[in-house]
Chains A and B, each alone.
Chain A
Amino acid sequence: EAGVAQSPRYKIIEKRQSVAFWCNPISGHATLYWYQQILGQGPKLLIQFQNNGVVDDSQLPKDRFSAERLKGVDSTLKIQPAKLEDSAVYLCASRRTGDSEQYFGPGTRLTVT
């Protein structure tokens, strides 16, 4: 079974530019999560999808961050415009309904200069 796929793995942009990250969850996993992990900290949930609907986006900075999962499979997270403090690893995770564990992708390391 293929794991959670993310791309790109690394991205360097200047502040005020925009960037998009892509995630393809494990096949059959209805729940998809985007986490932000700032260096030296634990991951923090940005948004949670159940199929193509948003379940929790309470910690998503909606003035600059957006995410979608239009067909209930893969998902895109966008930042526009980026700030220096957005430098972090963005982790995508998925979970099968009824299971306990979330499976994480390799992450996208974003550097904003």
Chain B
Amino acid sequence: AQKITQTQPGMFVQEKEAVTLDCTYDTSDPSYGLFWYKQPSSGEMIFLIYQGSYDQQNATEGRYSLNFQKARKSANLVISASQLGDSAMYFCAMRDDAGGTSYGKLTFGQGTILTVHP
């Protein structure tokens, strides 16, 4: 079974500084996908970044980068130059790529609340 762990219930960062949100995962499947989603107080889930298990390079999307360390089974999200609008809940998720009936299912972590201070 897949498991996602986010050990930081809350994080604080000063505006314009960088912040790292931790995520570790556990799976026996060689093929999987890792995602980060942002959930503002309004409730919608916003896709931020994706990393495939066979991708050689770390994924980047604007101010977001994913620090993928496969041997350590970690997929930390790095947000550079934090903005006040980055304050939200952040979820790490894993997709089952094993095929069969559960392909595409996302398993989510507990989330980390990020607060950006001015």
Contact = CB atoms under 8 A, between A and B. Distances in A.
B102 interface: yes
- The A interface, classified by DSSP as helix, strand, loop or mixed, is strand
Interface residues of A, number: 25
Contacts of B93: 42
Contacts of B101: 55-56
Interface in A54-107: 55-56, 89, 91, 93, 95, 100-107
A100 B43 contact: no
B105 A56 contact: yes
B47 A103 contact: yes
Most buried by A among B37, B43, B103, B108: B43
Contacts of B91: 42-43
Interface of B: 4, 33, 35, 37, 42-47, 50, 52, 91, 93, 95, 101-111
Top 6 A-B residue pairs of the complex, sorted by shortest distance between their CB atoms = A42-B108, A104-B45, A101-B47, A106-B44, A107-B43, A100-B50
Given A33-B104, A104-B47, 4 more contacts: A31-B104, A48-B105, A56-B105, A109-B43
